[in-house]
Amino acid sequence: MSAEPRVVLLTGFDAFGGESQNPAWDAVRRLRGARIAGHEVVVQRVPTAFARCAGVLARAIARHRPRLVLCVGQAGGRSAISLERIAINCIDARIPDNDRQQPVDQPVIDGAPVAYFTALPIKAMLGALRERGFPVEVSNSAGTFVCNALAFHLAHGIATRWPRLRGGFIHIPFAPAQVVSRPGVPSMPIELVADALRVAIRIASTTAVDVQVGAGRED
């Protein structure tokens, strides 16, 4: 009997907020079927909707039985790939989601912890990406929109339902096409993001214990 294949699940959101594309999904789908560090990459598009994102994620995990999940989202205005350290149990939507829902001051999950720290080796990922010249940072805020909600659902699921799973969230900047009418707003080519995700997958798949290096921010 052959061994069960090792799978990495990558997720990316659909377009939201009036945008015609979401670079997270554009980058993620480029890696469909790739083999990285002995793992096969499968991908899943997730709706930018508070009420539906968690169910889509859970069904993808049940279907593919991954060892690693990396959820990717757009953070327009950021200039670097952001490895998210924390997901918080708070929704405070500045704009409506794709279901036209705009919750304010609501928990992601009633009765769940206030926050979860990622178990990903984000400092090792940071170092590997920096060595290869990628603009990258450790972020201490995933916001309070659907990206953070999905990150929190994933973290809560790992804590309560999927104890053998490893996972976390990565934010990426706008794509170049999105900033044509936004002078001075940073962007990053989709191809560069996809290459960075390859590195992130390899390090997250092969690093059991994270390194201790400073990556805090004062702002």
Annotation marks residue 171 as catalytic: yes
Catalytic residue among 39, 153, 156, 171: 171
Catalytic residue among 53, 71, 84, 156: 84
Residue at token pair 């339902």 = 161
Annotation marks residue 191 as catalytic: no
DSSP labels, the chain? -PPPPPEEEEEEEPP-TT-S--HHHHHHHTTTT-EETTEEEEEEEE-S-TTTHHHHHHHHHHHH--SEEEEEEE-TT--SEEEE-EEES-EE-SS--TTS---EEE-SSTTS-SEEE--S-HHHHHHHHHHTT--EEEES---SSHHHHHHHHHHHHHHHT-TT-EEEEEEE-B-GGGGTTSTT--B--HHHHHHHHHHHHHHHHH-SS----------
Annotation marks residue 84 as catalytic: yes
Catalytic residue among 39, 147, 153, 156: 147
The CA angle 99-43-144, to the nearest 5 degrees, is 40
Which residues does the annotation mark as catalytic? 84, 147, 171
